[in-house]
Amino acid sequence: MKTSKQTITGMMLLLSVLLWMSCGQQGKNHYQEDLVIENVSTAEYASEAEVDMVEVELSEEPNPPDFNTEEYDRIVENEFKDAKDNPLSTFSIDVDKASYANVRRFIEMGQLPPKNAVRVEELINYFPYNYDAPTGEHPFSIQTELATSPWSEDHLLLKIGLQGKKINYDEVVPSNLVFLIDVSGSMSDKNKLPLLIKSFQLMVNELPSNSKVAIVTYAGNASIVLPSTSVLEKEEINQALDQLEAGGGTAGAQGIITAYQLAEENLIAEGNNRVILATDGDFNLGTSSTGELVDMIVEKSKKDIYLTICGFGMGNYKDGRMEQISNAGNGNYFYIDNWKESQKVFKKELTANLFTIAKDVKIQIEFNPNTVESYRLIGYENRLLNKEDFNDDTKDAGELGAGHNVTALYEIVPKVGVNSTKKVDDLKYQKTQVLSNQEDLVTVKFRYKPIKSSTSKLMTKIVHAKDVENFNQASKDMQFASAVASYGMLLRDSEFKGNTDYQKVINWAKPAINDDEYRRDFIELVEMTDDIHVSK
């Protein structure tokens, strides 16, 4: 039966009101971002008075998932390590932020997220921090800060921050981009393909003029919808996007192969070559095992074609698979749950992330056993490296995009005045020679490769025990990052969460909002989480 626009509009308004009422006072503002509006032209997305809502066509027969098949890889939290027996901690940087948006999606639906959906480092790195811009030869600056822990008495927190240099987009190298878009039947929901299309159209308006774009889709098979086309031909690109429809299976592997072939055919020497995959991650046809896909992506990345993954939707979302693939492809991974997040990613962040300024960035911390009894890295469980990997330039690590920053937190048990946390006796046949400099707490070492080099460079920074500040006197960034870390540990019901609760998280974060809209949204998110927790 054909339904008139007026009838659809009336049904939409009634549904919107009912859902708005059911969301409650704290959730209603988030729901408003998902309301449907009509007749918004593509040109409006680039205007200064940018609308906060986008057209997302509501089908006459919405098809929400009948059951949940979402998948998340198991996370085994980092534990405290003895500084005498394990003085070195080594990991690769991570600029992914997908976990925060995915966690928010669960909270706004009125439920706590699965514990393994919570990657604490991605929650911390969802927010920008006020780090000094680099001024020397290196493409990023390094800052450290040491403060008392708000959740564990007598513990310390060490914050390590990297700030990438900004670039002049009028002088950037040309880009060869392939949009790889999942148009399978599972992408038909309004928060998947329709939102995806508008997101890519927003990005096209933001790309430098020397960029070119191709579009590959996959469902039952892969198709080249648009050959490599100058971004100056925006109308042609946008028309190709507007014509996409969802239906069929999900031959993700075939789509990836086709997209990389197209990127390689149009490769720009010394340029920026990248595949941008948008999907819910449900590869159910073709080469579908994660291991096979990762191996294939690793081989393609050796040709300097990077990969970015943008996850959409719910119900059959395959988080673990997409994270592993993005890591293998020297790329990054975002999750898009609404139009506001789309604006943040496609307008503000993704364009910068396209331009890598440092590759294979590794961090190694050496803890002084004279001043540190034990320590734990908060998050980064799937980015840990062997200590030998730090000096091995053949070992892959994370990439840093232009203008972006990375934050890591360590929780430290200092040696003096703290009850022992040792779980084993001292070794009888092995003695460790410790340093005599009691002022050194840790030595922070960084390795990275310049974009055109296969040889890494080393940077070193020492943190002194005397530099510790009281948490209340620490920087706003330190206070906020600590609050976010504590929130993540609460969501995971971590054994290391200490004496914290959601109200304390709010109290720690509120003074550090700094008039940042995303930090304000975080306060509201924690309040919503507390309400859910209390009602359980």
Do residues 138 and 122 lie in contact, with contact meaning Cβ atoms separated by under 8 Å? no
363 compared with 313, residue with greater pLDDT = 363
**Could you give the percent of the chain with pLDDT greater than 70?**
81
The most confident of 7-21, 142-156, 239-253, by mean pLDDT: 142-156
Residue 457, number of CB atoms within 10 A of its CB: 14
With beta carbons less than 8 A apart as the criterion, state whether 442 and 463 touch: yes
CB 226 within 8 A of CB 237: yes
Higher pLDDT, 9 or 180: 180
**Nearest-angstrom CA–CA distance, 350 and 396:** 22
Query: How far apart are the C-alpha atoms of 482 and 158, rounded to whole Å?
Result: 10
Rg (C-alpha) for the chain, rounded Å, is 24
Question: Contacts from 57-64 at CB under 8 Å and sequence distance 24+?
Answer: 57/190, 57/194, 58/8, 58/12, 58/190, 59/188, 59/190, 60/3, 60/8, 62/189, 62/190, 63/188, 63/189, 64/189, 64/315
**In sequence order, what E strands does 291-355 have?**
306-312, 332-336
Which residue's structure tokens are 């929780």? Answer: 411
Asked if residues 361 and 398 have their Cβ atoms less than 8 Å apart, the reply is yes
Higher-confidence position of 253 and 114: 114
Give me the pLDDT at residue 428, please: 62
d(CA 287, CA 203): 30
Could you tell me the two tokens for 312? 């959409």
pLDDT at 317: 75
Query: pLDDT tens digits, residue range 362-407?
Result: 999 999 999 999 999 999 999 999 999 999 999 989 888 888 899 9
pLDDT of amino acid 30: 41
pLDDT of residue 289: 64
Lowest model confidence (mean pLDDT) among 64-78, 264-278, 425-439, 512-526: 425-439
pTM value is 0.83
% of the chain surpassing 90 pLDDT: 57
pLDDT for the residue numbered 68: 65
Q: Is residue 388 classed exposed, middle or buried when 0-12, 13-18 and 19+ CB atoms within 10 A define those classes?
A: exposed
What are the DSSP E strand ranges found in 54-174? 81-82, 88-92, 140-148, 156-164
Mean pLDDT of the region 273-302 = 74
Q: What is the mean pLDDT of residues 37-51?
A: 35
Phi-psi region of 281 (alpha: psi -120 to 50; beta: other; left: phi over 0): left
More confident residue, 250 or 49: 250
Q: What is the pLDDT of residues 150-207, one digit of tens each?
A: 999 899 999 999 999 988 777 788 999 999 999 988 898 888 999 999 999 999 998 9
Q: Between 445 and 24, name the one with better pLDDT.
A: 445
How confident is the model at residue 432, as a pLDDT? 55
Mean pLDDT score across all residues of the chain:
83
Distance CA 445, CA 390 (A): 9
Q: How many residues does the chain have?
A: 536
Range with the poorest average pLDDT among 205-209, 395-399, 412-416, 421-425: 421-425
